[in-house]
């Protein structure tokens, strides 16, 4: 019986976990990738008979990414797939500091590796593995408004996410002449009530001039619930016009 298959990075918490849980409830097959796995989700999945594979990989270990994606596809029968979707959700915000500030070379490298390099490598392997597949193939890159406007203190995050948006545009260009093109979007989920937002609110004011604004988002109840974001994204994935616009913002949908 054909089924929808999803590969999602960053599923240990927040938006990624919410997306995975929603998809599993619907009976989809989901491959979850995160640094330490998600035992909470695994236990729930076993109890409810959900089809999940919870895989542990530190995405900074870039040399191991292609092997993991290859192992996932060894487990998938193309004939069983009605649609296969990759969701590059994993992301990190740190370091939050001015350019030229404290020496945080390792944190900068980790930020760009997780937010950009790892997503590129996962995507490259995904396209390689499905290059001759006849089913629907889709890619979602989790983006942010910070990819299109600078935010003081977020230089690494802004730059990495901007790079990921350009990468999506390259995929669109290269797939445009294919008979069965892979469709891709960059999705901005807005300001969401996740652990990343907690990290932002605990930044030092001298490193992050917008600190008061982000604390106000929480205090004034302006943060989106991860479940709402997950439901919205899944609805977008299932639209017939998915990929017609490469940049998609939740603000335009929920306004």
Give Cβ neighbours of residue 231 (< 8 Å, ≥ 6 apart): 22
25: number of Cβ within 10 Å: 11
186: number of Cβ within 10 Å: 25
Burial class (CB in 10 A: 0-12, 13-18, 19+), 181: middle
SS3 of 67, please? Answer: helix
Q: Is 157 a catalytic residue?
A: yes
Pick from 21, 15, 9, 78: which is nearest to 52 by CA? 21
Burial class (CB in 10 A: 0-12, 13-18, 19+), 48: exposed
How big is the chain by its Cα radius of gyration, in Å? 18
Residue among 6, 31, 157, 167 flagged as catalytic: 157
Burial class (CB in 10 A: 0-12, 13-18, 19+), 215: middle
In sequence order, what E strands does the chain have?
3-9, 29-34, 51-56, 81-88, 136-142, 183-188, 247-249
SS3 of 249, please? Answer: strand
Question: What residues are labeled active site?
Answer: 157
């Amino acid at each position: 019986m054909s089924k929808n298959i999803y590969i999602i990075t960053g599923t240990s918490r927040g938006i990624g976990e919410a997306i995975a849980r929603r998809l599993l409830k619907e009976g989809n097959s989901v491959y979850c990738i995160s640094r330490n796995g998600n035992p909470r989700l695994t236990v729930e999945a076993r109890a409810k008979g959900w089809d999940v594979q919870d895989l542990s990989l530190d995405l900074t270990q870039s040399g191991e990414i292609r092997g993991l994606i290859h192992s996932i596809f060894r487990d998938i029968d193309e004939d069983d797939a009605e649609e296969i979707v990759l969701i590059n959700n994993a992301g990190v915000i740190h370091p939050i500091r001015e350019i030229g500030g404290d020496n945080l070379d390792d944190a900068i490298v980790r930020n760009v590796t997780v937010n950009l390099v790892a997503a590129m490598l996962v995507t490259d392997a995904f396209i390689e593995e499905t290059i001759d597949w006849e089913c629907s193939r889709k890619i979602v890159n989790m983006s942010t408004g910070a990819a299109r406007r600078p935010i003081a203190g977020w230089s690494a995050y802004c730059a990495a996410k901007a790079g990921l948006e350009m990468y999506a545009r390259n995929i669109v260009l290269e797939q445009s002449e294919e008979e069965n093109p892979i469709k891709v979007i960059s999705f901005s989920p807005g300001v969401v009530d996740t652990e990343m937002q907690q990290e932002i609110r605990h930044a030092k004011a001298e490193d992050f001039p917008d600190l008061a604004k982000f604390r106000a988002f929480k205090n004034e109840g302006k943060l989106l619930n991860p479940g709402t974001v997950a439901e919205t994204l899944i609805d977008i994935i299932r639209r017939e016009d998915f990929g017609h616009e490469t940049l998609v913002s939740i603000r335009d949908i929920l306004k």
